[in-house]
């Protein structure tokens, strides 16, 4: 096996370690809530396409089946770069590559840069008045923004596999949300312009990362003396970290709306179609 092929296989195997972030219900919820945050001048277009944005909220997860490099765009292992706030990791993609190389940056995830890239894609689609592309890019951008608000997608212990709690991500980001959907209250503030889309991507990930240890510890405590991860476990887990899920999902909705609004502003405020 050549070294080039061997490295490619190794990169793929390492990338495959990561599982999905928020479950499908959470991603649909974020895109749905994000429409509510928009100011009147842009809301009409997104309101008319709300169902489209909801239906395509999970497209980036589906892309993993066809694009082997897609998976690394959904996370960033911040704790591979020292201690919070991880100052050794440059937020400039070019500088990060120069310092660590494409192999390591790829293995440890590129989520904040993907958020910045999709913000630019949406801007360009709106500027070109390519409304179909704009709808798809807006839906996908919402997905990546929501991933940046998943605390477990900012740590190498994303699935509890390093602390004997394998399956943690599915329990927090999927089961918890599905089980307590009726208790998830929308209270996101109105969308606002984002000055630097990539930098905001890092800010979201850093903010979410502060909750990772709490979620990991809560999972261990809530499983104590129970035969499995049953409904009693979920009740305990929600009591401890349900507020974190609500806060991060609302934050994701606010930021998604803000990215949509920012893309429209940066595109020169084009007149949006009614549908």
Domains in the chain with CATH codes: 3-266 (1.10.575.10)
The candidate with the shortest Cα–Cα distance to 119, out of 132, 106, 134, is 134
Q: What is the pLDDT of residues 108-130, one digit of tens each?
A: 999 999 999 999 999 999 999 99
Predicted confidence band at 275 (pLDDT cuts at 50, 70, 90)?
confident
pLDDT at 82: 96
Side-chain-side CA neighbours of residue 41 (13 Å): 12
Backbone φ and ψ of 191, nearest 5°: -60, 150
pLDDT at 20: 55
Residue with tokens 């807006």: 138
């Amino acid at each position: 096996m050549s070294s080039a092929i061997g490295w490619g296989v190794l990169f793929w195997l390492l990338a495959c370690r990561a599982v999905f972030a928020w479950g499908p219900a959470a991603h649909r919820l974020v895109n749905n809530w994000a429409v509510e945050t928009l100011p009147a001048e842009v809301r009409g277009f997104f309101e008319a396409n709300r169902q489209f944005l909801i239906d395509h909220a999970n497209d980036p997860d589906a892309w993993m089946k066809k694009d082997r490099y897609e998976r690394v765009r959904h996370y960033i292992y911040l704790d591979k770069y020292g201690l919070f706030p991880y100052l050794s990791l440059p937020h400039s993609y070019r500088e990060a590559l120069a310092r660590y190389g494409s192999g390591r940056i790829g293995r440890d995830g590129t989520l904040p840069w993907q958020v910045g890239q999709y913000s630019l894609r949406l801007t360009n689609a709106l500027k070109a008045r390519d409304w179909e592309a704009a709808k798809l890019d807006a839906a996908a951008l919402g997905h990546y923004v929501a991933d940046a608000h998943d605390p477990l997608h900012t740590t190498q212990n994303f699935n509890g596999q390093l602390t004997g709690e394998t399956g943690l991500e599915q329990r927090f980001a999927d089961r918890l949300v599905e089980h307590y959907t009726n208790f998830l209250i929308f209270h996101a503030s109105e969308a606002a312009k984002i000055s630097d889309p990539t930098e905001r991507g890092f800010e979201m990930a850093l903010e979410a990362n502060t909750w990772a240890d709490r979620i990991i510890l809560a999972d261990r405590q809530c499983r104590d003396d129970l035969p499995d991860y049953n409904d009693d476990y979920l009740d305990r887990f929600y009591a401890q970290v349900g507020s974190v899920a609500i806060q991060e999902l609302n934050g994701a909705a606010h930021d998604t709306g803000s990215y949509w609004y920012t893309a429209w502003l940066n595109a020169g405020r084009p007149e949006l179609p009614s549908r």
